[in-house]
């Protein structure tokens, strides 16, 4: 599996297309959620891509502190349906967290997690903060990994 972490301006048009296609496939079609995925934050982010041959199978977006939350944020965490249950999601989070800590060692990491994934994120050291809320019609919860 090929793994890359790239700033927005280093993405090829093919990589950007792959990212938007996978995000649409999972967040819009699979989760039946109509929302504005292209939200104006991609150009501020580091993009974590996992390719199996030429297919993008996992992705996350890392936003530096002050871009979305006061803290650094990891979001848009996805694994293509055909590649789930293979620990790719755990590899993706580990790489995203390691990159974040290596490049922003003084920042905690805040995420807006879908509530059904609480245990997954807790396994990576995140703790629940605050109360649950609806985001785009899906139950979410704030979670924090302290620096």
Q: Looking at residue 30, what is its pLDDT?
A: 84
As a whole number, mean pLDDT of residues 90-98 equals 98
Read off the tokens for 25.
């496939």
b/e string for 39-50 if b means 16 or more Cβ within 10 A? eeebeebbbbbb
Say if residue 33's pLDDT is above 90: no
Spatial strand order of the sheet with 127-135 comes to 2-7, 46-52, 55-63, 72-79, 109-114, 138-145, 127-135
Q: Which domain holds residue 102?
A: 2-145
Task: Read off the CATH number of the domain in which 51 is found.
Answer: 3.40.630.30
Write out the H or E segment, with its range, that includes residue 49: strand 46-52
Number of domains in the chain: 1
pLDDT of residue 103: 95
Q: What is the pLDDT, as a whole number, of residue 29?
A: 85
| Structure tokens that stand for 128 in this block | 């629940």
């Amino acid at each position: 599996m090929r793994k890359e972490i790239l700033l927005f301006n280093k993405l090829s048009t093919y990589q950007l297309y792959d990212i938007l296609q996978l995000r649409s496939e999972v967040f819009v079609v699979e989760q039946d959620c109509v929302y504005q995925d292209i939200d104006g934050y991609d150009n501020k982010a580091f993009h974590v891509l996992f390719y199996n041959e030429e297919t993008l199978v996992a992705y996350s977006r890392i936003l530096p502190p002050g871009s979305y939350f006061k803290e650094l944020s990891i979001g848009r965490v996805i694994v293509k349906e055909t590649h789930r249950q293979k620990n790719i999601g755990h590899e993706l989070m580990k790489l995203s967290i390691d990159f974040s800590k290596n490049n922003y060692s003084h920042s905690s990491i805040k995420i807006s997690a879908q509530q059904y994934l609480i245990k997954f994120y807790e396994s990576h050291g995140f703790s629940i903060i605050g109360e649950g809320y609806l985001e785009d019609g899906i139950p979410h919860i704030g979670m924090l990994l302290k620096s």
